[in-house]
Copies of this chain bind each other. A is one copy, B any other.
Amino acid sequence: MARHSAQIAGAKGRRSAGHVTLADVARLAGVATMSASRALRMPGEVSPELRRRVQRAIEQLGYVRNRVAGGLAGAANDMVGVIVPSMHNAFFSATLEALARELESRGVGLLVANSGYDARKESDLAYALLSWRPRALVLTGVDHSAKVLHLMRGVSTPLIEMWDLSPRPATLNIGFSHREVGKAVARHFASAGYRKLAFAGANMQLDRRARQRCAGFVAEALRLGLQRPRVVEIEQRAEVGRGREAAAELLRGTPAVQAAAFSNDVLALGALFECQARGIAVPGRLALAGFGDLDVVAQTVPSITSVAPPSAEIGRLVGQAVFDKQLRDRRAIDLGFHLIARASSAPRR
C-alpha cells in the first residue's frame, strides 16, 4: 500500500532528481504543452496572455529547456561538431573562439574534439561527433582518412573543411593556400637580398599544412634561381625550445644560412632567443620569418616577420556556412593571408 501510493506519487515527479518538463510548465500555466512550446520558441506568435502565463510558470518551476528532446522531435539539432588537431594552439583557438561566437549568437552549441594530428583518432572522433547529429561537422585540413570520408557518405550532415584548400574540393573548403604562404616568404627573403635560405618545420610528417608551406618555400626559392634551401625537420610539435635547437642547427652548417623561415612563429621565437643568447645579429647575420602572426612576434626586439593567417575569419565564415546553404554549396573559399614584414628580415645592406 505504502509502496503503491509512493508509485502514484512518483508518477508525477518520478524523476524527482531530474528536470522539470514542459508538460509540468503547461499544467501549471493551465495550457496545452504545445502552447507552452510555442510560447517558448515563437513568443511573437502567441497571445501576450499566454506568453505571460507560461513565463510565470517557467520561472516558478525553474524550467530549463530540453534540446535533446527537441532535437529528436524534429527541430534542427542545434549543435556543430568540430575537430581541431590541437586546442593548445593559438591559431585554432582563435578560429574556435570566432566560430563559437558566431554559433552562440544563434543558439547553437559547439562540440569540440582534438585529434592530436592523429588520423585514426580523427575518424573515431568524427564518428562520436556525428552520433550527436550535429548540424554540420567541421574538420581541420583536407586530408582525412578514407574512414572519415566513408563515414560521411552514410549521413546527411554537411562537412566543412577549414584551414586548407584542396586541389579539387569534394565539400566546402574555407582556408587559404599554405603552399602560397611558403612561396610568399621565399619571395620576401629574395627581394630583401637574402640568397642562402633555409626552412625549419615542426611535425611535418603529420601536419600537411606545414609540409606544404615548406614545399612552396623550397619551390619558389629554386624558381628564383637561388640554391636549394636547407630544410630542418623537427619531429615534434612546435615549441620554443625546438626553435632554439633548430636555430643552433642552422647556425652550425656551411655554407652559412642567411635567412630562415619557420613553420610556426613559436619556432621563430625560439630562433630569435637562440641568436640573442649567442650574440648573433638578427637580421644582420641571420634573418627570420615565422608563420601565424602571434601577438608576441610583433613585440620582440627585433620584431619578427610573419604571415598572418585568417584564423578568426575562418571561424566566422565556417559559422556562417553552417546556416547558409548557398555559401555551403561553394566549393572553396580562399581567405588569403598577409605577409607582415618586420625587422627580423629587413633588407640586407
**Chain A interface residues (CB < 8 Å from chain B):** 17-20, 61-69, 71-72, 77, 79, 86-90, 93-94, 96-97, 100-101, 104, 107, 109-114, 125, 127-133, 150-151, 153-156, 239-241, 243-244, 266, 269-270, 273, 276-277, 295-296, 298-301
Contact = CB atoms under 8 A, between A and B. Distances in A.
Contacts of A125: 104
Contact of A19 (B19, B109, B133): B133
B131 A64 contact: yes
A62 B20 contact: no
28 contacts: A20-B154, A61-B154, A62-B151, A62-B155, A63-B154, A64-B127, A67-B131, A68-B77, A86-B97, A88-B90, A88-B97, A93-B93, A97-B114, A100-B113, A101-B114, A109-B113, A109-B128, A109-B132, A239-B295, A240-B296, A240-B299, A241-B299, A243-B299, A244-B299, A266-B295, A266-B296, A269-B296, A273-B300
Contacts of A276: 301
Given A62-B155, A93-B93, A128 B107 contact: yes
B131 A66 contact: yes
Number of copies: 2
A277 B301 contact: yes
A344 B69 CA distance: 56
Nearest to A239: B295
A72 B73 CA distance: 10
Contacts of A300: 273
A130 B64 CA distance: 7
Given A100-B114, A109-B128, A296-B240, A62 B154 contact: yes
A128 B104 contact: yes
